């Protein structure tokens, strides 16, 4: 069985190869290690292999790991799960990035609750790019207007868009979903040329990162290819 360090090296090579194949600048795509359900020791192994950015879906589990790994300098914590209004304060206080902002109410709470002693919270607007009823995210038709409202909030910095297309769709349909997200970001940038351009497209996972990079992804969220398969539903999630 390959180690976490081996897996990180392999995924990094795949990202580099896909970036070059897409005619893009080397190093322009970052790897976000999706560490939900993984014990803190797995994250330590990833850090030892050079990984610094981790994505978490479950708030309490994430807070426990942030505390357990507080001795490791330079870690970057990204919240990537659905956001409940009563969880915004803890997210605003402990994370560097949030990829899953999908409504103005949540964005306002994050801005109001972001401590003044911390830099603005980096956020991505989650888009339900395929209109799936089971998925979180704002409707594509609402993206431009919502992005303009979020950019007015003082303690947030809107960096880009995030989407989770259905990975089981045929490759041409999946590629089209990634392309639509990139086009939405271009529309936002065109609508507000006086503001700094959004520079982040958080899209692509273990099975489709090459397609996502070809369509403009700047951040790919990878879990299984780094840490192996997650525990079955109902099995306790280890925290240490």
One DSSP character per residue, 87-135 reads: GHHHHHHH-SEEEEE-SHHHHHHHHHHS-TTSPPEEEEEEB-TT--TTS
Domain at 4-227: CATH architecture: Alpha-Beta Barrel (3.20)
Q: For residue 166, how far is the Cα from the chain centroid?
A: 16
Measured CA to CA, the distance from residue 129 to residue 135 in angstroms comes to 9
The DSSP line for 206-240 is: TTTHHHHHHTT-SEEEESHHHH-SPPPTTS-----
Query: What is the per-residue pLDDT across 172-224, written as a single tens digit (0 to 9) for each?
Result: 999 999 999 999 999 999 988 888 999 999 999 999 999 999 999 999 999 99
Nearest to 178 by CA among 197, 200, 162: 162
Residue 51 burial (CB < 10 Å; 0-12/13-18/19+)? buried
At 234 the pLDDT is 55
Cβ-based neighbour number of residue 213 at 10 Å: 27
At 91 the pLDDT is 98
Question: Which pLDDT band holds residue 232 (cuts at 50, 70, 90)?
Answer: low
Query: What is the per-residue pLDDT across 98-115, written as a single tens digit (0 to 9) for each?
Result: 999 999 999 999 999 999
Measured CA to CA, the distance from residue 84 to residue 98 in angstroms comes to 13
H or E segment to which residue 148 belongs:
helix 143-150
Question: Which pLDDT band holds residue 90 (cuts at 50, 70, 90)?
Answer: very high
Nearest to 121 by CA among 96, 90, 141: 96
Across 10-22, average pLDDT? 98
Domain ranges of the chain: 4-227
At 192 the pLDDT is 87
Contacts of 4 (CB under 8 A, 6+ apart): 42, 45, 46, 49, 226, 227
H or E segment to which residue 196 belongs:
none
**Percent of the residues in the chain that have a pLDDT greater than 90, as a whole number:** 87
Query: What rounded mean pLDDT belongs to the chain?
Result: 94
The residues that bridge with 168 in the sheet, in sequence order, are none
């Amino acid at each position: 069985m390959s180690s976490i360090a081996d897996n990180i090296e392999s995924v990094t090579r795949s990202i580099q190869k896909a970036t070059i194949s897409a005619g893009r600048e080397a190093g322009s795509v970052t790897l976000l290690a999706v560490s939900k359900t993984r014990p803190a020791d797995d994250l330590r192994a990833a850090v030892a292999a050079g990984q610094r950015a981790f994505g978490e879906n479950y708030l309490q589990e994430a807070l426990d790991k942030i505390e357990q790994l507080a001795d490791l300098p330079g870690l970057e914590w990204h919240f990537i799960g659905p956001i409940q209004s009563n969880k915004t304060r803890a997210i605003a206080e402990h994370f560097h990035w949030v990829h899953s902002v999908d409504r103005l109410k949540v964005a306002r709470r994050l801005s109001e609750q972001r401590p003044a002693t911390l830099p603005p919270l980096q956020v991505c607007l989650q888009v339900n790019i395929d209109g799936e009823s089971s998925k979180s995210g704002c409707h594509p038709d609402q993206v431009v207007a919502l992005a303009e409202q979020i950019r007015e909030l003082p303690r947030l910095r809107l960096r880009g868009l995030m989407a989770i297309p259905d990975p089981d769709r045929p490759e041409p349909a999946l590629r089209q979903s990634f392309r639509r997200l990139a086009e939405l970001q271009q529309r936002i940038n065109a609508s507000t040329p006086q503001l700094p351009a959004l520079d982040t497209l958080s899209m692509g996972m273990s099975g489709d990162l090459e397609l996502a990079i070809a369509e403009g992804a700047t951040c790919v969220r990878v879990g299984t290819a780094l840490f192996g398969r997650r525990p079955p539903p109902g099995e306790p999630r280890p925290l240490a």
